[in-house]
Structure 1
């Protein structure tokens, strides 16, 4: 069983990253997967709402600042997800050139 560290898609009250160390198959890992899915979906929805506001020449400075703040929050979440997933991908065992036909195998609980 491979043990790995995973940056979770939420922070402490002080804004510090939360990290889960384990095989990636338990309740907290599934909760994190679900939250990442929700965050990515919300980011897509936000892009759909932000584009018309940004394109509107009559948008007020307050509306533009609000959209910019939400986009910044969303981008921060998406960046954390991307970095966490990249770290987990790096944990895969990659075969060397002379390892034959064996394909790389993900660690248990790793998801794409």
Structure 2
């Protein structure tokens, strides 16, 4: 399910990828199907990549002599990673907000 508008009455999971138009993709379901498991796996990879990138950034920034091209590349990768992790947080926060209370 893709598109900008979303009916708040239908709690959908924000997926870790975008649609062909670049807009957000949502999944409506019970969270146990193939697409949900795939989204979980992709989120795990994205979080692991962010962790590794932070380690690389710490090492690179500890160096006294770093080329501007290296810093530019690092900044681009950090930006991409931050965007991924923010999307994961938004997705998980949205699912918590729509969880039925006992």
Alignment TM class, shorter chain as reference: 0.7 to 0.9
The size of the alignment, in residue pairs, is 93
Deviates more, 1:7-16 or 1:69-78: 7-16
Q: TM-score, normalised by structure 2?
A: 0.84
Residue 54 of structure 1: CA displacement?
1.8
For the residues of structure 1 that align with 2:91 and 2:50, how far apart are their CA atoms? 17
For the residues of structure 1 that align with 2:61 and 2:25, how far apart are their CA atoms? 34
The 5 Å alignment of 1:19-98 reads 19-94=26-101
Larger helix fraction of residues: 2
The alignment yields a C-alpha RMSD, in angstroms, of 1.3
| 5+ long unaligned stretches in structure 2 | 1-9
Residue 74 of structure 1: CA displacement?
0.2
| 5+ long unaligned stretches in structure 1 | 95-103, 105-112
Partner SS, residue 4 of structure 1? coil
Residue 56 of structure 1: CA displacement?
1.6
Q: TM-score, normalised by structure 1?
A: 0.77
For the residues of structure 1 that align with 2:20 and 2:63, how far apart are their CA atoms? 36
